[in-house]
A and B are shown apart, each in its own frame.
Chain A
């Protein structure tokens, strides 16, 4: 296996309240250098679990995860995470948050300042450097997390439904910015979403996970031309691919709905 990021026959079981939940079963996948991969699947199918294992927050029950061929055994700063709930430090200003990774690397203050400026600029938050996160809207906060992780310059970006909490319009703006940033940096990215449209707009490849326990259900290459803008959604190719992906996803969502109906009827 040669990918930057590899999941090799990974199984993850949680024990919760006496019973075991198999979140992922025997999942294998590989992500290439510079690739933008979207993971898509019904809620509860183990998308966050997989991302948390790539980040080293949790360990698999079986199988292994590799970063450039090396097993991931602890929290891995080379895999930078963008959290759905932002996870900004409330006591730090925008600048303080963006500089955090650099500070941890021991970059001198002046250099930190310069680099932070560059990324605050990139996510268009100039003028807000000295604001605290509570003073910003959700979309602005998510841009700070983006700038924070980009300034830390990890080898891989792991993004767990980063735009899920945003309203539809802000979400589009953020998608466009992420497209622009990715097309400039070409940083390997794993992006979790449950929006088929979002996956098609952003990705080079879409991995559809099955309902729990999650496994790879389908892999679809996304050959929509780059550079892209969000108006790619209007193209006929987009509609064709959307129908294809939705075909894979729908069945799994149905299974998920059935399963929850059964378990709630039983419980």
Chain B
């Protein structure tokens, strides 16, 4: 009740003019978002400026900003973003190409599921970083090792999401298709694939964020470049502003990748446009 009243007060606090000119709740929320960030940065500047926190623990916002512009100007930030993105893209694509078809097969044909399930159970508890020793032994510390870590950390989630999505396709639609003369192949192409697509895409989107955390941990252990290596090396040099710039860089890159994935998801499913809007 209190929350409801508060919202109403906020919504009504604008001018008493025509309804059109009254700022909507969305704009007010946005304003509060911005103010909240500004207040945080202000507090941060104050605490470093007044010496409440030593710069070796937390650099000032201006030091971070200076570091950021240096990194952007030199092009190092882009190189790091690009090399990490490339690893994520390749590992994630490989995982998708293998796990989606396998997941569909496991969803429609129980022997495939029975064969693969024990390995899924054994591999699932292993975080991707536990693959770092083996992959370094097998592949060295080059690109393929980073891609392998992304792959190992991603494919299981894609597989599980695909199996689930395939099994959840409405059996009534399969019946209807067969009643209209569809054979096995047509049922697969016309019903199971499009029916499972929303679940598969949702799974891919969640997994993409997981792929990013895989590549970053792999880069922090052994890499010459990439965002993970950037912040790890910055720590070794005692360059705290650089660590923070790297972290913000990671945050923005992953957000961007997520937004891109969202766009692709919408494009692939025009029939879902109403459910979302």
A residues contacting B by CB (< 8 A) are 55, 57, 75-77, 79-81, 83, 85, 87, 89-92, 100-101, 104-105, 132-135, 148-149, 152
B20 at the interface (CB under 8 A from A): no
Which chain B residue has the least Cβ–Cβ distance from A149? Answer: B180
Q: Which residues of B contact A (CB under 8 A)?
A: 170, 172-173, 175-183, 186, 190-191, 194-195, 197, 269-271, 274-275
Structural contact, B179 and A91, CB atoms closer than 8 A: no
Q: Given A75-B175, A85-B172, is A91 in contact with B180 using a C-beta cutoff of 8 Å?
A: no
Residue numbers in B under 8 Å from A100 (CB-CB):
177, 180, 182, 190
Which chain B residues border A85 with CB–CB below 8 Å? 172
Q: Is the CB of B179 within 8 A of A81?
A: yes
CA A83 to CA B178, docked complex, whole Å: 13
Given A91-B195, A104-B186, residue A57 in contact with residue B271 (CB < 8 A): no
Q: What's the Cα separation between A135 and B272 when bound, in Å?
A: 10
Known: A89-B190, A91-B271, A132-B274. A57 touches B175 (CB 8 A): yes
A89, closest chain B residue (CB): B173
Contact B180 A101 (CB under 8 A): yes
A residues near B181, Cβ cutoff 8 Å: 77, 101, 104-105, 152
Tell me which of A104, A105, A132 contacts B271 (CB under 8 A): A132
A91 touches B172 (CB 8 A): no
Q: A57-B175, A83-B172 are in contact. Are A152 and B270 (CB under 8 A)?
A: no
Q: Given that A77-B179, A101-B181, A105-B181 are known contacts, is A91 also in contact with B194, CB under 8 Å in the complex?
A: yes
Interchain CA distance A85-B172 in the complex, whole Å: 9
- Given contact pairs A89-B191, A90-B271, A132-B274, A83 touches B186 in the complex (Cβ within 8 A): no
A55, B179: Cβ atoms closer than 8 Å = yes
CA distance A162 to B102 in the complex (A): 38
Between A and B, 5 residue pairs with Cβ closer than 8 Å are A87-B173, A89-B177, A89-B190, A134-B274, A152-B180
Would B270 and A104 count as touching, CB distance under 8 A?
A: no
A79: chain B residues at CB < 8 Å are 179
B176 lies within 8 A of A81 (CB): yes
Name B270's contact: one of A76, A132, A133 (CB within 8 Å). Answer: A132
Which residues of chain A are near B197, meaning CB under 8 Å? 91
**In the complex, what's the smallest C-beta–C-beta distance from A78 to chain B, in angstroms?**
9
Q: Is the CB of A87 within 8 A of B176?
A: yes
Residues of A within 8 A of B170 (CB): 87
With a cutoff of 8 Å between Cβ atoms, the chain A residues found around residue B194 in the complex are 89, 91
Please determine whether A134 and B275 come into contact, CB atoms closer than 8 angstroms.
Answer: yes
Closest CB of chain A to B25's CB: distance in Å? 27
User: Which 4 A-B residue pairs are closest in the complex by CB-CB distance?
Assistant: A104-B181, A87-B176, A91-B194, A101-B180
Considering residues A90, A133, A134, which has the most beta carbons from chain B within 10 angstroms of its beta carbon? Answer: A90
Chain B residues within 8 Å of A89, by CB: 173, 176-177, 190-191, 194
Question: Which chain A residues border B176 with CB–CB below 8 Å?
Answer: 81, 83, 87, 89
Query: Which residues from A are CB-within-8-Å of B179?
Result: 55, 57, 75-77, 79-81
Instruction: Specify the chain A residue showing the minimal Cβ separation from B182.
Output: A104
Q: In the assembly, what is the distance between CA of A76 and CA of B181, in Å? A: 8
Most chain A Cβ neighbours within 10 Å, of B170, B175, B181, B195:
B181
Closest Cβ of chain B to A80, distance in Å, is: 6
Q: What residues on B are CB-neighbors of A77 within 8 Å?
A: 178-181
Chain A residue with the shortest CB-CB distance to B183: A104
Shortest Cβ distance from residue A117 to the other chain B in the assembled complex, whole angstroms = 18
How far is A55 from B172 in the complex, measured between Cα atoms in Å?
13
Known: A90-B271, A91-B271. A75 touches B190 (CB 8 A): no
Bound-state Cα–Cα, A104 to B275, Å: 29
Least CB separation from A91: chain B residue: B194
Which residues of A are found within 8 Å of B186, using beta-carbon distances? 104
Residues of chain A lying within 8 A (CB to CB) of residue B270: 132
Complex CA distance for A90 and B269, rounded to whole angstroms:
10
Report B-chain residues with C-beta under 8 Å of the C-beta of A135.
274
- Separation in Å of the B108 CB from the closest CB of chain A? 17
Q: How far is the CB of B173 from chain A (nearest CB, A)?
A: 6
Q: A80–B180 contact, CB under 8 A?
A: yes
**B-side contacts of A134, CB under 8 Å:** 271, 274-275
Interface contacts beyond A87-B175, A135-B274: sample of 20 additional A-B pairs, CB < 8 Å, sorted by A: A77-B178, A77-B179, A77-B180, A80-B179, A81-B175, A83-B172, A87-B173, A89-B176, A89-B190, A89-B191, A100-B177, A104-B181, A104-B182, A104-B183, A104-B186, A132-B270, A134-B271, A134-B274, A148-B180, A152-B180
